[in-house]
């Protein structure tokens, strides 16, 4: 790591201890850094050689605050956040609802001075990016914050990008982009694998990426993460929009979609009934471009991704196991994918790699095809990285090396030159091909396929280490609890409500068109 990077990271991390002691979480610290770094960058942009119009009202810029101390600094910072939150445009997107969560004036002063000493605009995006990504990682590890659900393991992201091999002058979307990890990995892959000319660099910065993020705080962190990595411009192109991407067809079509939709099976809408109690209704998106209606978020995201892909577009999508075997809408969507796209690869992911416990997930890779009566999928290749594989977030996290064999089997340069590692002579081979005919004959067209014998069930000598085994038990219990909670919520939603005596008391089930 370059000395400059190490020095700045050391300064940034130096604040974490005192802030944690003062009750400020990693997420709150990250949010405050976002506000302050944005203000400092705006101040730098307003000066030579940039001389950009910043839209920050007079009296609420960086120089109006950076020389203050104590109560005066706290008051000025509070007024600045309130003022910028009501400005409109990019300023309101960053500062909407912003409040000062650093109650210790002395620590706030130290953070301001730390940021003031650096030239953020001219600083290498590698340096800025490492700082911010490190903080995002720490925030994801903070169990209480719940931020882990918006943070996809970086080795998995890099593997997905390596398989799709995005090219310059192509467009990339992530309809639920979290902190922006897929965009950053794609940017890095393109920059490292092609000698980019000026036009290609400009396209990569301002025209390549299209994203959505629903959660306001995560949206802000994503914007800043992208800006610090030289994607978009704080006074020009905004690559990410805030809102529910499932509401409507956005109109654009892209070359690649790489995404990890949010965990949780159902979409729901919370409302207050006539008794003043909170109730939930399943949220169903009635879209003409969808194959079927469902309240299952992941199934809806798969349909949405199919919509926004160009006729020759490619997708890599993280999905939970239920997407591979669920009946009803799930079966309809799997049949449609096999019929209209080339659903060529499924990676069975190991447990213990996500920050949400109990997640059993996969990556599906499919290429969209122009309309045709012929079934577009000829065969599906499966890579089982789950059976007899044991990972934990701290003691044994998944690394890039753990995915090297999958990438080699995937054969990104020409996936038509693949070779199975499974055979009758090698039943533990993790790479196996199934014809589309074999899959269509399976119950509910299930894609939940595995063949390797679980050694821990057959041989006590192959049991994982006790701490790993304990983590797996916790994950399985958490998964079961989540399923029971979901079932309870579903039963509550389906229970007949007491008749209302008030006129007009009927509550209509709501859907989004």
478 lies in some domain: no
Asked if 90 and 164 sit in the same domain, the reply is no
List, in order, residues 6 or more apart from 279 with CB less than 8 Å away: 270, 271, 272, 273, 492, 493
Listed in order, strand segments (DSSP E) in 336-397 are: 341-348, 361-368, 379-384
92 lies in some domain: yes
Of 55, 89, 123, the domain-final residue:
123
Per-residue pLDDT of the chain (513 residues), as tens digits, is: 556 666 777 777 777 778 877 888 878 888 898 899 889 988 998 889 888 887 889 999 999 999 999 999 999 999 999 999 887 777 778 888 899 999 899 999 999 999 998 888 888 776 777 777 777 777 666 655 444 455 688 899 999 999 999 999 999 999 999 889 999 999 999 999 999 999 999 999 999 999 999 988 889 888 888 888 889 876 667 899 999 999 999 999 999 999 999 876 554 444 344 555 544 555 788 899 999 999 899 999 999 999 999 999 999 999 999 999 999 999 999 999 999 999 999 999 998 888 676 778 999 999 999 988 999 999 999 999 999 998 887 778 899 999 999 999 999 999 999 999 999 999 999 999 999 999 999 999 999 999 999 876 655 555 566 666 676 666 667 666 766 666 676 566 566 554 444 333 333 333 333
* Look-up of token digits 């939150």: 85
Asked if 224 and 83 sit in the same domain, the reply is no
Distance CA 190, CA 166 (A): 7
131 lies in some domain: no
Asked if 164 and 47 sit in the same domain, the reply is no
Asked if 305 and 216 sit in the same domain, the reply is yes
Count of domains in the chain? 2
Host domain of residue 21: 3-123
Residue 122 Cα distances to 112, 126, 206, angstroms: 18, 11, 18
Do 44 and 119 touch, CB atoms closer than 8 A? yes
Asked if 173 and 107 sit in the same domain, the reply is no
Asked if 85 and 174 sit in the same domain, the reply is no
Asked if 176 and 34 sit in the same domain, the reply is no
107 lies in some domain: yes
What is the model's pLDDT at position 503? 39
128 lies in some domain: no
CATH number (domain holding residue 81) = 1.20.1260.30
CATH number (domain holding residue 401) = 3.40.50.150
490 lies in some domain: no
User: Tokens in use for 355?
Assistant: 């920050």
What is the model's pLDDT at position 2? 57
Asked if 352 and 228 sit in the same domain, the reply is yes
Do 259 and 317 touch, CB atoms closer than 8 A? yes
Asked if 208 and 278 sit in the same domain, the reply is yes
Asked if 110 and 13 sit in the same domain, the reply is yes
What is the model's pLDDT at position 201? 95
Asked if 386 and 273 sit in the same domain, the reply is yes
* Look-up of token digits 């839209």: 55
């Amino acid at each position: 790591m370059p000395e400059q990077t190490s020095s700045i990271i050391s300064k940034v991390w130096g604040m974490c201890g005192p802030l944690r002691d003062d009750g400020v979480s990693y997420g709150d610290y990250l949010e405050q850094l976002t506000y302050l770094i944005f203000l400092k960058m705006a101040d730098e942009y307003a000066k030579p050689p940039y001389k950009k119009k910043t839209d920050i009202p007079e009296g609420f810029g960086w120089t109006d605050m950076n020389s203050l101390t104590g109560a005066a600094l706290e008051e000025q910072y509070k007024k600045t956040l309130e003022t910028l939150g009501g400005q409109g445009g990019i300023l309101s997107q960053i500062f909407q609802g912003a409040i000062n969560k650093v109650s210790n004036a002395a620590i706030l002063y130290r953070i301001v001075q730390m940021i003031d000493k650096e030239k953020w605009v001219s600083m290498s995006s590698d340096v800025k990016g490492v700082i911010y990504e490190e903080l995002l990682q720490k925030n994801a590890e903070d169990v209480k914050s719940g931020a882990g659900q918006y943070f996809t393991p970086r080795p998995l992201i890099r593997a997905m990008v390596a398989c799709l091999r995005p090219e310059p002058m192509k467009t990339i979307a992530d309809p639920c982009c979290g902190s922006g990890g897929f965009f950053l990995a794609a940017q890095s892959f393109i920059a490292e694998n092609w000698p980019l000319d000026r036009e290609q660099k400009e396209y990569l910065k301002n025209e390549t990426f299209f994203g959505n993020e629903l959660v306001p705080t995560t949206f802000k962190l994503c914007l800043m993460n992208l800006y610090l990595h030289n994607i978009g411009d704080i006074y020009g192109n905004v690559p990410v929009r805030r809102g529910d991407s499932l509401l409507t067809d956005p109109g654009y079509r892209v070359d690649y979609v790489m995404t990890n939709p949010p965990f949780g099976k159902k979409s729901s809408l919370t409302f207050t009934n006539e008794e003043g109690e909170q109730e939930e209704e399943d949220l169903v998106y009635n879209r003409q471009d969808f194959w079927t209606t469902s309240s299952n978020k992941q199934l809806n995201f798969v349909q949405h991704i199919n919509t926004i892909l160009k006729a020759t577009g490619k997708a890599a999508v993280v999905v939970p196991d239920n997407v591979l075997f669920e009946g009803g809408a799930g079966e309809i969507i799997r049949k449609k994918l096999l019929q209209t796209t080339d659903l060529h690869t499924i990676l069975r992911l190991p447990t213990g790699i996500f920050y949400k416990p109990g997640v059993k997930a996969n990556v599906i890779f499919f290429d969209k095809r122009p309309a045709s009566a012929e079934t577009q999928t000829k065969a599906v290749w499966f890579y089982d990285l789950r059976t007899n594989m044991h990972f934990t977030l701290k003691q044994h996290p998944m690394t890039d090396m753990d995915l090297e064999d999958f990438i080699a089997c995937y054969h990104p340069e020409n996936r038509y030159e693949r070779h199975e590692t499974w055979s009758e002579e090698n039943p533990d081979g993790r790479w196996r091909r199934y014809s589309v005919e074999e899959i269509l004959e399976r119950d509910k067209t299930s894609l939940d396929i595995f063949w390797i014998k679980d050694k821990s069930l057959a041989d006590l000598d192959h049991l994982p280490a006790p701490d790993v085994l304990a983590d797996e038990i916790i994950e399985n219990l958490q998964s079961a609890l989540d399923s029971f909670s979901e079932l309870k919520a579903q039963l509550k939603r389906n229970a007949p409500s007491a008749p209302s005596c008030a006129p007009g008391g009927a509550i209509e089930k709501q859907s989004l068109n």
